[in-house]
A and B are shown apart, each in its own frame.
Chain A
Amino acid sequence: AQSVTQLGSHVSVSEGALVLLRCNYSSSVPPYLFWYVQYPNQGLQLLLKYTSAATLVKGINGFEAEFKKSETSFHLTKPSAHMSDAAEYFCAVSGHTDKLIFGTGTRLQVFP
C-alpha cells in the first residue's frame, strides 16, 4: 500500500525567497513520486516526477525535488518564489501503476 503525508497545509513566503514544500511517502514497493500544481478553479498540472532514475528531479517553472530513500521524503523546492507560484501543491505516489494516491495538499502564498 502507498500513502503520502504533506507537512504544512499552508506555507507563506516572500517573493524571491526559497520555497520548500514537504512530502513524506510510504510504499510497499519502490515508488513513483509526483508533484502536481493546481491553480484556482483548474485541474492538476504535473510539475515533476521521480521514476527511479536520477534522485534529483527538475521540473517546470524552476521547481525541483530530491528523492531521499533513507528519509522517505520527496520535498519540493524552488530557489526564488514568484507571485505566479501561488497555488495548491499536491504530492502523489504510485506503485508502478497509473493509480495515484495524493496528499492533502499545501497552499503556497507568495507575498510581495
Chain B
Amino acid sequence: DAGVTQSPTHLIKTRGQQVTLRCSPKSGHDTVSWYQQALGQGPQFIFQYYEEEERQRGNFPDRFSGHQFPNYSSELNVNALLLGDSALYLCASSLAGLAKMSGELFFGEGSRLTVL
C-alpha cells in the first residue's frame, strides 16, 4: 500500500520565480493538506483540498495556490518566490469522514525548497 508520495524531493529556485510541488495521497484517501515547515519550526497549515476545492486555508498570502485533481492528487504552486519561502513543504492525506473522528493525517517525506 503506497503511502503519500511527493515530488520533487529537493529543488532550488531564485527570487521571483514560480514553483509547483506535487503530491499523491495514500491509497483510499480523498483529502490533501499542505504544510510549510521552516527550518527549526513546526509545520504550519497552508490549505486543504477536498472534492477538488479549497476547503480550509491558513494564514498564507495569495501567492500560495493549489489544485486537486479528480484522482485526488494535488499541486501546490507558489508565485513570486521570496527568500522566506525556503522550507520543507509537507503534504498530508486523510479520509474526510474518518478524519473528523480520528483527526489523523498521513504525511509524505516532503519537498525541500531553497530560494536563492
Where the two chains meet, the residues of A that have a C-beta atom closer than 8 Å to any C-beta of B are 32, 34, 36, 41-46, 49, 51, 90, 92, 94, 96-105
Residue B31 is within 8 A (CB to CB) of chain A in the complex = yes
Q: Check B103 against A100 for contact (C-beta < 8 Å).
A: yes
Bound Cα distance A49, B94 (Å):
15
The secondary structure that dominates the B interface is mixed
Bound Cα distance A30, B44 (Å):
21
Q: Check B100 against A96 for contact (C-beta < 8 Å).
A: yes
For chain B, which range describes its interface: under 10, 10 to 19, 20 to 34, or 35 or more residues? 20 to 34
Which A-B residue pairs are the 4 nearest by beta carbons? A98-B99, A102-B42, A32-B103, A43-B107
Q: Check B103 against A34 for contact (C-beta < 8 Å).
A: yes
Q: Check B101 against A43 for contact (C-beta < 8 Å).
A: no
Return chain B residues, CB-CB under 8 Å to A97.
56, 99-100, 103
Where the two chains meet, the residues of B that have a C-beta atom closer than 8 Å to any C-beta of A are 4, 31, 33, 35, 40-45, 48, 56, 90, 92, 94, 96, 99-110
Q: Check A98 against B96 for contact (C-beta < 8 Å).
A: yes
In the complex, which residue of chain B has the Cβ closest to the Cβ of A100? B105
Return chain A residues, CB-CB under 8 Å to B106.
46
Q: Check B100 against A98 for contact (C-beta < 8 Å).
A: yes
Q: Check A98 against B42 for contact (C-beta < 8 Å).
A: no
Q: A44-B90, A97-B99, A99-B45 are in contact. Are A34 and B104 (CB under 8 A)?
A: yes
**Which of B43, B90, B94, B103 is most buried by chain A, counting CB atoms within 10 A of its CB?**
B103
Q: Check A44 against B103 for contact (C-beta < 8 Å).
A: no
In the complex, which residue of chain B has the Cβ closest to the Cβ of A33? B103
Q: Check A51 against B103 for contact (C-beta < 8 Å).
A: yes
Return chain A residues, CB-CB under 8 Å to B110.
42-43
Bound Cα distance A46, B31 (Å):
18
In the complex, which residue of chain A has the Cβ closest to the Cβ of B6? A43
| Minimum Cβ distance to chain B for residue A33 (Å) | 9
Bound Cα distance A73, B53 (Å):
35
Partner of B103, one of A90, A96, A102: A96
Partner of B56, one of A44, A46, A99, A102: A99
Q: Check A44 against B48 for contact (C-beta < 8 Å).
A: no
| Minimum Cβ distance to chain A for residue B66 (Å) | 15
